[in-house]
Amino acid sequence: MTDLPPGVLPYDPMAKEVIDDPFAEYRRRQSGCPIGHSETLGMPFWALFGYDDVRSAMLDPKAFSSRYGPTPVFQKSIGFFADGKEHTHFRAIFRKRLSPEGIAALQPRVAELARRLLDDMIAKGPVVDLHDDFALPLPVHVISWLLGIQGDDFVTLKHWSDELMENAFGKSNERFLKVYAGICAFFDQHLDARYDMLTAAGIEEALPEHVGSVLPDDWISDAVCADYLGRKLNRDEQRMALMGLLVGGNETTTSLITNLMWRLLEEPSRWEQVRSDPDRFIPVAIEESLRFDSPAQAMFRTTLCPVEVAGVEIGPKQKLMLNFAAANRDPAAFDDPDSFRLDRDARDLSRRHLAFGGGPHGCPGAPLSRMEVAVVMQLFVKHLPAATLAGPSERSVGYNMWGRSSLPINLGC
């Protein structure tokens, strides 16, 4: 065990009491020393729990870098996990589909899919599992569209995505590498097919203008044709980009849907309030859910130089867990933080909560997730006004994801 500075206590995110109720543990940390140290996930790391400390680290990439990956394991600096212009230019390749115009163009298709899933769920009812029957398939379908993957492969993609998230944060590096290899092979097939299309068209060099003309208009084609710092993406960069978009594009939205409905239905007066004025209360409910039940509990950074955090000196090349969920329940940042309230200001919440991270590495898919859940909530308010909980929920596996892997509800129709 590493000798720790005075006042710094060991932290085990896999301890049963933390898994059962992470927020009670976060509050204990914040009331004492808001920094801990862990050696329980195979790699030693520090953990930050205070809002100001977490936010400051996110906004200072020169000291707290993403270049060694967002997990406790040191990873290769590539793509979304680079810093500076490498990261900015890489991110720009895939950001256009997540622009306000891109999301507005996608919204009718999302609404159509959501209504179809809702109709299927109503036909199956009256008691359904909101996770399995709705919250899981919707965002995976949407991210599959954007990637350019057709058919029923979304089921496999969801399984792989969940396994990556479960094992990437220290549970099983061996299992992570096995799943990673499977996803690489899957995306390689799709990438190779795009190069075959170019060859069949007599094109030797892929150019951005080939997207939507010679090639389908999607992220896989972007990964083939985009210019990146005067060159094309190599295969590792293509794989990492597509994997990052897959994982980031579904799990958060699935958890946001289940967490939000869980909190609204567990206190029926909340659901009644949202139904009474959906245009006013749906935006608040979404942002309050992101704050109160942050789907991603934390992400990691690596120190590039000696830093001082919460009065503790930390050397270079140290992993730090930035605990978004703890920061979003910090009483120094939010009034009455352990209460789910619909009288908060949605815009203020969206500016200040850290559920999507922040700084240069803030989640690029945040607007897409918000749009999807807003569409869903309008449908639920209209078609499921009498919905109630139909049994206890189950938490998502893995210490780092906070969502409902099962949420039985009675549709009331």
Per-residue pLDDT of the chain (413 residues), as tens digits, is: 568 888 798 999 989 999 989 999 999 999 888 999 998 887 899 999 999 999 999 999 999 999 998 888 888 888 888 889 999 999 999 998 999 999 999 999 999 999 999 999 999 989 999 999 999 999 999 999 999 998 777 677 777 777 776 665 655 567 777 888 888 999 999 999 999 999 999 999 999 999 999 999 999 999 999 999 999 999 999 998 998 888 877 888 999 999 999 999 999 999 999 999 999 999 999 999 999 999 999 999 999 999 999 889 999 999 999 999 999 999 999 999 999 999 999 999 999 999 999 999 999 999 999 999 999 999 999 999 999 999 999 998 778 889 999 999 999 98
Amino acid identity of residue 411, one-letter, is L
Q: Which two tokens stand for residue 122?
A: 């109503």
Does residue 33 have a known ligand-binding role?
no
Q: Which two tokens stand for residue 248?
A: 């980031």
Q: How far apart are CA 294 and CA 299, in angstroms?
A: 12
In a 13 Å sphere around the CA of 74, the CA atoms on its Cβ side amount to 9
Q: State pTM to two decimals.
A: 0.94
Q: Where are the domains of the chain?
A: 9-410
Domain 9-410 CATH class label: mainly alpha
Q: What is the DSSP string of 226-253?
A: --BTTB---HHHHHHHHHHHHHHTTHHH
Q: How far apart are CA 199 and CA 103, in angstroms?
A: 32
N-to-C CA span, the chain: 57
Q: Which two tokens stand for residue 11?
A: 């932290």
